[in-house]
Amino acid sequence: MSKNKDEKAKGAVLEYLTQQNRPYSAIDVFNNLHKEYGKTAVVKVLETLAQEGKIKEKTYGKQKVYLPDQSQYPTCDETELKAMDLKIAQMTEELKVLQEETRKMENELRGLNSSLSTDEAKKQLTMLRGEVENYKKKLAQLKEGGKAISPEEREVIIKNRVKLVKEWRKRKRT
């Protein structure tokens, strides 16, 4: 690898680690840099940065973890931490309120979108009234000229149906 590429990789890895400010293994750094630099180059760069003292290296068994040197970051005193905790609590409450409000508004919007508009409701009403008229006409026809079947005829028809269903089931089995 040329010296220029090596310096680019070194700068990119150092910038990435300081920007993220959390521990990473060499493989994680390689993957998170989207394989822009080779895996061996990333491992070498991490080793040199650790030797130079720009990052820290911790070994857990065979696994090495690299993290940025924490002395480069400013420290906070207790009052600042308490103020930040208080602000976090306030913002968390505000977030809950806003999420609840958003949920209510989304439910209301869903309800409005699922309901019919005035024009659609009028069309549906006229259509349903037409259906009611058709059913009333059919009912009137059945009441007027409906041919009634005597109970004896009904019994004969039912017995004939039962006999035919039995025959059909026999034939179906074979």
Give residue 138's pLDDT: 85
Mean pLDDT of 59-75: 89
Give residue 116's pLDDT: 80
Q: For the chain, what are the domain ranges?
A: 3-72, 75-115, 121-174
* Per-residue confidence band for 149, with pLDDT thresholds at 50, 70 and 90: confident
Query: Domain 3-72: which topology?
Result: Arc Repressor Mutant, subunit A (1.10.10)
Cα-to-chain-centroid distance, residue 45: 39
Cα-to-chain-centroid distance, residue 104: 19
Q: Bigger pLDDT: 22 or 71?
A: 22
Angle between helical axes of 3-20 and 39-52 (0-180°, round to 10): 70
pLDDT tops 90 at residue 131 = yes
Signed CA dihedral, 113, 116, 117, 123: sign only: positive
Give residue 97's pLDDT: 97
pLDDT tops 90 at residue 15 = yes
Give residue 2's pLDDT: 67
Give the SS3 label for residue 54: coil
pLDDT tens profile 19-58: 999 999 999 999 999 988 999 999 999 999 999 999 999 9
- 35 closest CA partner among 51, 18, 12, 17: 12
Q: Are 9 and 42 in contact (CB under 8 A)?
A: yes
The one-letter amino acid code at 63 reads Q
Return phi, psi of residue 69, to 5°.
-70, 125
Give the SS3 label for residue 118: helix
Q: Are 39 and 27 in contact (CB under 8 A)?
A: yes
